[in-house]
Structure 1
Amino acid sequence: MKKLHLLRAHLINAVPGLARDPDKLLTFVEEGSIEFRRGPNLTHEYQFTAQLVLTDFADDLDTLMVPLLQWLAEYQPDADPNEAVRFEAEILSHNAVDVALRVQLTERVLAKVNCDTGHIQVDHALPRFETTGCPPPRWQMYTRDTQANADYTLAAEWGAQGETDDGE
């Protein structure tokens, strides 16, 4: 389930509160199944609900949802928009919540059997679908309080997929 690891790393990189304290993001798999076909190869697909729990989350919820939706557009573009993400929240205080997300994911595993050598070669198919023609090296998300008629303020910043904070 390499997609869940990729999603976790992306959120830790993108969400300011998680970048400061990654232990506030708990990840689980629930309702998992494996789809396969009978035959000589062992290719299969994981289908599961990833549960991501953010504890004591004090950032704007958009700083979580926008990077999540960006990741889904690139790694799970065939997700049903009505079913892909579900969430619950428990209000802890005026500025902190626990948020539980349920994200529907699939991951194809290519397992090729070579009967002559007795080898099975396994590859996880993790295609990435570019969502823009020229993605910038870093993303910056700006929000504003429209009720206060305020200007946009920087709420979150993160590197492109696969980039670390030091630019590599």
Structure 2
Amino acid sequence: MKKPASLRAALARLMPDLARDTDRLAMWVEKGKVVARLGPQRGFAWEYDQIVLVSRYAGDPAALFFVICDWLRSQQPDLLASGADGFPFEVDMLSEAECDIQITLPLREAITATPGQDGKWHLDMVPEPVPMMPESQWLGPRLTSIWADGIQIAPLPPSES
């Protein structure tokens, strides 16, 4: 599974406090299943709920969800398609300044299996399908920071993180 590590890297890049204090970002997989069919193609897909738990979060929750939605644009675009159900989350308010946020992302990764010589098989991750529009419309510019009401909220400037 490559998506969990990719999501962790995206969160750490824009929220360096989570990268520095690694015990505040927990991630695990639940309800995983493998989907495979009998036939000449021996590939399969695994489907699972990626659970993301951010503990003692003191930032703007909009920044956290924005980073996740931006990551989904390239890693699981069907969750952002018109008519998609979205993804669930829960928040536990610890104080006025801090909360725990748990997010559940229903993810899927497809694997192809290609036969080689002498019974060797090569496994490859299938890239996500590209939406039927120009890349500049679905990916947009690279995300480097997030601002709200003229204030930078992610990553926080060094004096505030």
CA RMSD of aligned residues (A): 2.2
Structure 2 residue runs of 5 or longer lacking an equivalent are 157-161
Is the Cα–Cα contact under 8 Å of residues 74 and 139 in structure 2 kept in the other structure? no
3-state SS of paired residue (1:78):
helix
Structure 1 residue runs of 5 or longer lacking an equivalent are 145-151, 159-168
Amino acid at match of 1:10: A
TM-score, with length taken from structure 1: 0.78
Q: How many residues align?
A: 148
TM-score, with length taken from structure 2: 0.82
| Higher relative helix content | 2
Further displaced range: 52-61 or 75-84: 75-84
Q: Deviations over 1:43-79 (max 9, x none)?
A: 0111111000011111110110001000101111112
Mapped pair 1:111 → 2:113: yes
3-state SS of paired residue (2:39):
coil
Structure 1 ranges of 4+ moved more than 4 A: none
Amino acid at match of 2:78: D
Is the Cα–Cα contact under 8 Å of residues 17 and 57 in structure 1 kept in the other structure? no
Mapped pair 1:95 → 2:97: yes
Amino acid at match of 1:25: L
Q: How does 1:12-161 map to 2 (within 5 A)?
A: 12-79=12-79, 82-114=84-116, 116-127=117-128, 129=130, 130=135, 131-132=138-139, 135-136=141-142, 139-144=144-149, 152-157=150-155
| Higher relative strand content | 1
User: % of aligned pairs identical?
Assistant: 28
